[in-house]
Chains A and B, each alone.
Chain A
């Protein structure tokens, strides 16, 4: 930690830095909190320690009480000492779980740091249990902190689904696949716009039910709805699908660019595209205008969290006139973010990785008007007089598409409005 930062390297027009040291981020297990809401008949069983159970409980808040479809199989000292065969133990726990929840069609065994370090082979366990528990399908992926950061848990989960997807017939017409969990309401809005553009066969990964996962083949064109899906994209490419390069659908401009990529790939003419998107663009413009006044010229600092930072910074800078102090991201996928990086204001400081205390020093020195950060940092920074926007909300709130552009701006404007309101 506190290792010397390598000299900045040129990457597009941005001022790119890499940093190593203490990271204040969630591990990939956290993805379960929203994924289990999305895939309604899936269950996520973490194989880990009490820390893992405690983490999910803390991150899921009150959701934990709503008979959730996730749990932890806690490894204990008998498993570590080899007194209990860990595989037999796992089979016992899973069998009991499936008996109790017969509505479950898809079970994910989710690897954690402890299970990875003791090299518990969850992929073989998943194969074995799939055979035994048919028709329940058992898959595995790792959400461990040593391998994944926060939203990368969703990437790992979706990448595990890809080899299982049905094969689309070779002669099938080109279809559009939207990749990345979106709120149901956002999916439906996009479906209507694609339909108005004349693209009829649009599917989503993940689907809302295990039995309705999309088929895939050489005719599949896919759009990433989220910037953190590197492994999923690779797995889709391996099955012959073709990625459509696009910015991410955050803000009006991002949404238009994203839709445009699909329109171009499916030969939608300019008139049809304009007609399909005009109403949405107009409404987004109306919703954004009042926020532009409040946020214009404000200086914003992003701590790394979800990989959404670069597209969000692009949206804030270009559509709301925000000045970017630093854009931290846990990982920068330059190919998937190429369109975003091009649109960032020239010279924007982008930091990949983190050395927490050094980054906090930079933030304190810069005294930004708004700091986007995790819940472990937000209150301490507020107490130092800095306004913060806690970043995890950007994952749980519908923010993509035209109709949410105003809501997205509102999420950033609210802390500033509140600070102005409070007299004590």
Chain B
């Protein structure tokens, strides 16, 4: 048993729902107890879908357990077929139905429906949502892509074609990533054969083999299917995920090589605004900002690489909840000289964030709340997300426009962070201190602002307090006292670095066993710790 307050991923049948809901002409019959229909609202509310997911639940109850739940399942499949007339169906069990051991595949087969019915085995007590999506997509492709055959050479003069694999329902920015990547491929002169699962029908899966190669946008959901297509039809697939400018350029080169075309004219085009924005002097203060990255493996790896190489941040933490991709994340973390955090326990993530003391957190909805609690700026870069991260506006993560979006997304919370610091720094200014109201309102004293000041002070200084140093004889050396003129000088240091200056000076004094911190100690320490 595992004590869980928050889960990064749902159970695997939610992954199957994400695939089924993404597609058209497919229906999912889920053997599940009453109550499991809650999952519908993820799609209708968070993604704001305008139709119910194509899922029929058996919603069995205790009274049904004494009777024949298998019969109930068969009736449900027959009724769903009669009502929705899908091209194909998937059938499976949720966690509770897995325990009662009816056999959805066998029961559905006995009905002898005139369409493909694909059984899903989703072990709910071992696996999770992304695995469920990947497995479902793989099973669908296996069942519907047709008999394995060698790939035919492309006819001369025909534009190269590819499939785009991976986008699902409830995917973080999948809708707009797809638009962006379609546009990119079109500019390169590559046609898109089938996009799947998003928007594809079972019949479309039968046409997957017609493409020259596959573009895998989200390895979490599409790598297994792509491996199968490679094995069965000789279609190669892309490894680079186009998150950031560099990755997009590498992705373009990879795609061009697979398509046998020259990407030079495209790569010489306008590209992204990120490189210039990042070089403009306004961005200098971003240099070596300490950033902590956590999310699904694909986004964590891509965004960490981009943060370091394209924004000049220092990655001080990198992790994922996707155990299936732990190896890749560990390799990326090693590039940044750190150890990867592989966990699905948000308390572990919170502890790691505290320990790394970053200046910016990039993560999921959960890290957003952790960062809020710790007073650290934050941006969301990965599922799971709330409704606000299924925006009405165009907001891809991938490709050149995605890089523009990411620049803004990663920098905005810091700008706001800087604003906060400046406000704090000028707090003791005679015209700007806490007791003075806004000048445009006549500068009358404000009543309720002083109460929050200490909290802000603490929040603005994520550096943990220095622990007392234990000597061999276990004597605790406390910090030396501050001479009055040193204390006064400390107050002249800008508010947002004052905490660090104080702790550095005290550490410096402890290490040298100085009896008093003087003006000289302060500046000696500054010189000692200066970058």
Contacts and interface: CB of A to CB of B under 8 A. Distances in A.
Interface in B1-57: 1-7, 9-11, 13-14, 33-42, 44-45, 48-52, 56-57
Given A22-B56, A377-B44, A54 B99 contact: no
A54 B57 contact: no
Nearest to A72: B4
Contacts of B38: 26-27, 30, 55, 58-59, 376
B1 A84 contact: yes
Contacts of B1: 47, 73-76, 79, 84, 86, 89-90, 92-93
B415 interface: no
A114 interface: yes
B128 A77 contact: no
Contact of A71 (B5, B39, B366): B5
Contacts of B50: 379-380, 382-383
A118 interface: yes
A51 B366 CA distance: 18
Interface string A328-344: 00000000000000000
A22 B75 CA distance: 11
A49 B49 CA distance: 27
Interface in A315-367: 357
Interface in A105-138: 113-114, 116-118
B125 interface: yes
Interface string B55-76: 0111111101100000010011
B59 A74 contact: no
A24 interface: yes
A96 interface: yes
Contact of A376 (B40, B99, B126): B40
A97 B3 contact: yes
B48 A76 contact: no
Contact of A58 (B33, B41, B60, B65): B41
A117 B96 contact: yes
Nearest to A62: B386
B76 A80 contact: no
Nearest to A392: B41
B79 A2 contact: yes
B15 to A, nearest CB: 11
Contacts of A147: 61-62
B385 to A, nearest CB: 12
Interface in A177-215: none
B95 interface: yes
Contacts of A55: 35-36, 38
A151 interface: no
Nearest to A145: B35
A378 B50 CA distance: 9
Interface string B77-102: 00100010000000000111001100
A40 interface: no
B5 A24 contact: no
A73 B4 CA distance: 6
B36 A114 contact: no
A416 interface: no
A53 interface: yes
A261 interface: no
Which of A23, A30, A47, A79 is most buried by chain B, counting CB atoms within 10 A of its CB?
A23
B148 to A, nearest CB: 33
B369 interface: yes
B52 A76 contact: no
A366 B259 CA distance: 55
Nearest to A357: B83
Contacts of A72: 3-5
B364 to A, nearest CB: 12
Contact of B96 (A2, A47, A146): A146
B124 interface: yes
Given A1-B75, A49-B124, A146-B60, A118 B99 contact: yes
A162 interface: no
A71 B4 contact: yes
Nearest to A2: B79
A50 B9 CA distance: 9
Contacts of B76: 1, 22
Interface in B349-387: 366, 369, 386
A357 B41 CA distance: 17
Contacts of B13: 51
B234 interface: no
Interface string A142-177: 001111010000000000000000000000000000
A330 B33 CA distance: 15
A29 interface: yes
A2 B48 CA distance: 29
A22 B59 contact: yes
Contacts of A383: 50-51
A64 interface: yes
Which of B34, B50, B100, B124 is most buried by chain A, counting CB atoms within 10 A of its CB?
B34
Nearest to B49: A379
A68 interface: yes
B125 A80 contact: yes
A27 B34 contact: yes
Which of B10, B72, B95 is most buried by chain A, counting CB atoms within 10 A of its CB?
B95
Given A51-B124, A71-B5, A145-B33, A379 B45 contact: yes
B123 interface: yes
Contacts of B94: 51
B95 A376 contact: no
B369 to A, nearest CB: 4
A103 to B, nearest CB: 16
B392 to A, nearest CB: 13
A77 B83 contact: no
A26 B2 contact: no
Which of B11, B14, B42 is most buried by chain A, counting CB atoms within 10 A of its CB?
B11
Given A23-B59, A76-B126, A374-B41, A54 B33 contact: no
Contacts of A399: none
A330 B51 CA distance: 23
A73 B2 contact: yes
Which of B57, B123, B366 is most buried by chain A, counting CB atoms within 10 A of its CB?
B57
B83 A145 contact: no
Contacts of A65: 6, 366, 369
Contacts of B72: 1
A93 B52 contact: no
Interface string A6-27: 0000000000000000111111
Contacts of A49: 11, 95-96, 124-125
A50 B11 contact: yes
A375 interface: yes
B10 A51 contact: yes
A75 B125 contact: yes
A115 B91 CA distance: 24
B280 to A, nearest CB: 36
A376 B7 CA distance: 21
Nearest to B64: A146
Contacts of A79: 1
Contacts of B41: 58, 374-376
Contacts of B125: 49, 75-77, 80
Contacts of A382: 50
Contacts of A73: 1-4
Which of B2, B40, B65 is most buried by chain A, counting CB atoms within 10 A of its CB?
B2
Contacts of B42: 58
B519 to A, nearest CB: 44
24 contacts: A1-B58, A1-B72, A25-B37, A26-B38, A49-B124, A49-B125, A50-B10, A51-B36, A51-B96, A53-B7, A54-B10, A57-B6, A58-B39, A58-B41, A65-B366, A73-B3, A92-B1, A113-B33, A118-B99, A146-B61, A147-B62, A357-B83, A378-B44, A379-B49
The 4 A-B pairs with the shortest beta carbon distances in the complex, nearest first, are: A27-B35, A145-B35, A376-B40, A383-B50
